[in-house]
Amino acid sequence: MQLSDRPARPALTFVVCVSIVAALTACSEAEADSDSTTSNGTANTTKSGGSTSGETGTGGATGSSTTQGDGPTTSGGAAGAGCSVEVASHALDSPIHVTECSAIEYSTNPPASGRHYPVWAFYQSYDFPVPRGYWVHRLEHGAVVITYNCPEGCPDEVARAKTFIDSLPVDPRCVPYDVDRQVILTPDPLLDTRWAMSSWGHTLRADCIDEEAFRDFYESNVAHGPEDICGGGAALTEAALPPDCGE
């Protein structure tokens, strides 16, 4: 007697169909899970400056930023918010002694090296323009000189500058010479910016007082001249100088 295969075919077909449906369902669920993971993993994170913090990341430090180079940089901080500060290094000019009160041309403004008088100014704050030849000699001794040009007057800013100078640490090397620190403050009508600082080979130019930038410049450059001299110097007076000294 012959057996027939026909009754088995419907069962096989049903099994195949069930398998196909199950596979399609599994693929659909896996795709949905993948989409959900991608969405949940990135939607709440924003990176800025290479860091992530909570929902938004902010990279880098905030506050004052001053660079040594050619371009101005905005320097923040409560005392000098909004100041434009430019710090630069310069090739050194020859430190030749010239006749006292003679006119001298400098390659930078403010000067950072070059010709100067054989007499040097005493470390102090002056209320009259000290001719540049006197204080450029002090740059050679390692001084930091702060200059300003306020044609309309700026007594509040000058008072702040003096307070800043007084806040600098006393230099123990200079105490035996009755000097607290190697700093000179003087107005300078030849300056083409409002405030400036000079050391041997370096300058800072600013349109207002930024105490953080000023302090950084002082700490980086004081006592770095080719000669290290705290003592001596002339306590110059306006009355004792010829009216055309340095012109």
- Write down the pLDDT at residue 81: 59
Q: Which helix (H) or strand (E) holds 220?
A: helix 211-221
Rounded to whole angstroms, how far apart are CA atoms 70 and 205?
11
Q: Are 123 and 143 in contact (CB under 8 A)?
A: yes
Rounded to whole angstroms, how far apart are CA atoms 19 and 22?
5
Beta bridge partners of 185: 125, 146
- Write down the pLDDT at residue 54: 32
pLDDT values of the chain reduced to their tens digit, one per residue, 247 residues: 444 444 444 444 443 334 444 444 444 444 444 444 433 433 333 333 333 333 333 333 333 334 444 443 334 333 445 899 999 999 999 999 999 999 999 999 999 999 999 999 999 999 999 999 999 999 999 999 999 999 999 999 999 999 999 999 999 999 999 999 999 999 999 999 999 999 999 999 999 999 999 999 999 999 999 999 999 999 899 999 999 999 9
pTM for the model stands at 0.69
Rounded to whole angstroms, how far apart are CA atoms 13 and 215?
88
| Phi-psi region at 159: left, alpha or beta (left = phi > 0; alpha = psi -120 to 50) | alpha
Q: Name the percent of the chain in helix, strand, coil, to the closest 5.
A: 30, 15, 55
- Write down the pLDDT at residue 242: 95
Cβ–Cβ contacts within 10 Å for residue 79, how many? Answer: 16
* Chain-centre distance for alpha carbon 45: 31
What are 160's two structure tokens? 């702040």
Rounded to whole angstroms, how far apart are CA atoms 226 and 140?
6
Q: Give the three-state DSSP class for 235.
A: coil
- Write down the pLDDT at residue 82: 82
Residue type, 176: P
DSSP string for 16-58: HHHHHHHHHHHHHHHHHHHHHHHHHHHTT-B-BTTB--TTB--
